[in-house]
A = this chain, B = another copy of it.
Amino acid sequence: MSTADKKPTAAWIGTGVMGRWMCEHLMDAGYHTVVYNRTKSKAQPLIDKGAVFAGSPKEAAEQADIIFTIVGFTKDVREVYFSDTGILAGAKNGSIVVDMTTTNPSLAVEIFRQAEAKGISSIDAPVSGGDVGAREARLTIMSGGDKTAFDQVLPLFEVMGRNINYLGEAGAGQHTKACNQIVIAGTMVGVCESLLYGYKAGLSMEQLIETISKGAAGCWTLDNLAPRIAKHDYDPGFIVEHFIKDMGIALQEAQAMELSLPGLALAHQLYVALKAQGRGKDGTQALILALDALSNAGFSRS
């Protein structure tokens, strides 16, 4: 940090559907912000608001006290941190890096160690809540890594989210996000199989949802996504391709820990099939269509 009194300067790398809003909340809260995005046009709304555009992650990092990243895939995270024009080539001694991408816990540990070697603190802080949660500043933020650095970043997290947690050493945030996605995978399979069964049995889907959502089957998916399925609405809150990525990470890490997760593996495969059916950019609730296709059950034509 520059001084104890002055607000830290933030760098924001990755101004996509999530990052764009998260960065904007920081700017609205009065943080001076340097931004970088591979496709500059996506950062334009932030530039228009007064953000400085940097030529590379390295250049952005050079100008900042706290460097946030939220990019697409694991390989993008590696490039943004480790390449010659990456963050660790530019970040100042004493600065803090915060990766908010959902990525491998083992990569979070790697970033932590390489950062530490240069006198830089590191936090892994993936989020849940989707683009709506990002826009409305009510994300869940799951953090691991340096606790002192977490405490310093906390005021900035608080302008982006509501449910902000520190869960332990480097990787703990990513592991928690993996656990979150594992629950969602099981729930989504259960809800979609249930609704497809109900459809085949001739039940009213709306009445079915209303009836079972009040008891032990109750879940966020039944409350929020099942009514969309009943209307054949597959618009994304969270897209299939990103969920496949997240489940893949959880499966890789589980295997590395010598842990078999058959339910997660099945959900992953059903989503791979769904993507193969051209549904990669649909919302995760489209899973019912993969199950429908499996039995030629007729729901998609209803």
Residues of A participating in the B interface, judged by any CB pair closer than 8 Å: 105, 128-130, 140, 142, 163, 165, 167-168, 171-172, 175-176, 178-191, 193-198, 200-204, 207-208, 210-212, 214-222, 224, 238, 250, 253-254, 257-264, 266-267, 270, 291, 294-295, 297
Contacts and interface: CB of A to CB of B under 8 A. Distances in A.
B216 A184 contact: yes
Given A142-B211, A212-B176, A215-B140, A201 B257 contact: yes
Given A167-B204, A190-B190, A214 B183 contact: no
A201 B219 CA distance: 25
Contacts of A294: 260, 262
Contacts of A264: 190, 193
Contact of A165 (B193, B211, B254): B211
Given A167-B204, A263-B263, A179 B212 contact: yes
A212 B140 CA distance: 8
A182 B191 CA distance: 7
Contacts of A215: 128-129, 140, 163, 180, 220
25 contacts: A105-B201, A128-B215, A129-B215, A167-B207, A175-B197, A176-B198, A176-B212, A179-B201, A180-B194, A180-B216, A183-B190, A183-B191, A184-B190, A184-B216, A186-B191, A186-B194, A190-B190, A193-B263, A197-B257, A200-B254, A216-B238, A217-B220, A219-B220, A258-B295, A259-B297
A168 B202 contact: yes
Contacts of A180: 194, 211-212, 215-217
A178 B190 CA distance: 11
Nearest to A201: B175
Contacts of A171: 201
B221 A220 contact: no
